[in-house]
Amino acid sequence: MRSPLLDTHGAVAAQAPDETVAAHYGDPFAEQRALAGGRALVDRSNREVVRISGPDRLSWLNNLSSQKLDTLQPGTPTQTLLLDPQGRVEHHLTLVDDGEAVWAHVEPGTSAELVAFLEKMRFMLRVEIADVTSDYAVVSVGPPASAESPAATGVTVEGAVAMGGDVLVPRERLGGLPDELGLRPAGLWAYEALRIAAHVPRLGFETDHKTIPHEVGWIVAAVHLSKGCYRGQETVARVHNLGHPPRRLVFLYLDGSVDELPPHGAPVTLGVGTPVEAEPEAAVEGSAEPGQIGFVGSSARHYELGPIALAVVKRTVPVDIDLLAGGVAASQEVVVPPDAGRNVKIDPALRRRIR
């Protein structure tokens, strides 16, 4: 559904899967600064919205997903995952309960599959599931907030649902919302640059069909390790108590002298001159690139940090060696440590903003 904000002067459409919203409005770096300062609004109306009502909704979702939701208080935003039986991530939901219903927003193109799965799992429980994407749009009024303390919006919109730094607004009001709130429109490039700088994974970018929660840090924000059983929990518990995930999320500082950013899916390989003893045990399974040890998830140009990226690499890649991301020289910063799992507690300094 094409956003009316694409008709704003200077708007340039983003690329798939975000092509129905603006990448920027003519000045991406100024938009980033405004967003970081709480002076901008990002149109994320390409995301899809699902509403789940009924008196059994929280206990039912608690039994299906990775987060503890049966005691979720109204107005408290959180995240949860739906996993397959092998513990691999299928859906990532950002949600809030308003006392009458749970509202969740998900990646573009995923709500139909999510609703179909939830409908199959209703049984005789008192829940109602509806895809309300045509009625509600997601906007963000700040950068991704921390998992421990989701930012309040400070924004009041009649008929809207507040979700930390996100707001679900009636879709018919989207076009006039920046003027109504006195906020500058910022494109998705601004939000994505701040997301990457905050080490925040995105489903379908930093994940693939094999991703488990430990690999990308969702174990911090979207998984409750002491709750009851749910599909895929065995893998989560086994990695947490006995082993390590096979891959890990890393943040990359890219060579600023290169004009092009590495695209999503670009191979990550060892940097030039890496000693043989530093090489990981093997290349990525099934990779077409010789020596590939990971892939680029997202990349952007940050208004302060320059060109940056998130990538997923083999756990055994040494943390202190340089890499090549799509042929671009890159230095690593640890997001998920190699010893994640086995009851290792992640350093609070590494508990990055996750949305």
- The tens digit of pLDDT for each residue in 101-136 reads 999 999 999 999 999 999 999 988 999 999 999 999
pLDDT of residue 143: 78
pLDDT of residue 285: 53
The confidence band for 264, taking pLDDT boundaries of 50, 70 and 90, is: very high
pLDDT tens profile 212-230 = 999 999 998 999 999 889 9
CB 190 within 8 A of CB 40: yes
Mean pLDDT of the chain: 90
pTM recorded for the entire structure: 0.90
Least Cα distance to 328 among 345, 314, 307 occurs for 307
pLDDT of residue 275: 59
The angle subtended at Cα 44 by Cα 40 and Cα 48, nearest 5°, is 155
- 290 vs 115 pLDDT, higher one: 115
The confidence band for 145, taking pLDDT boundaries of 50, 70 and 90, is: low
Going along 20-135, which residue ranges are E strands? 22-24, 40-43, 48-53, 78-83, 89-97, 101-106, 128-131
Q: How far apart are CA 276 and CA 260, in angstroms?
A: 29
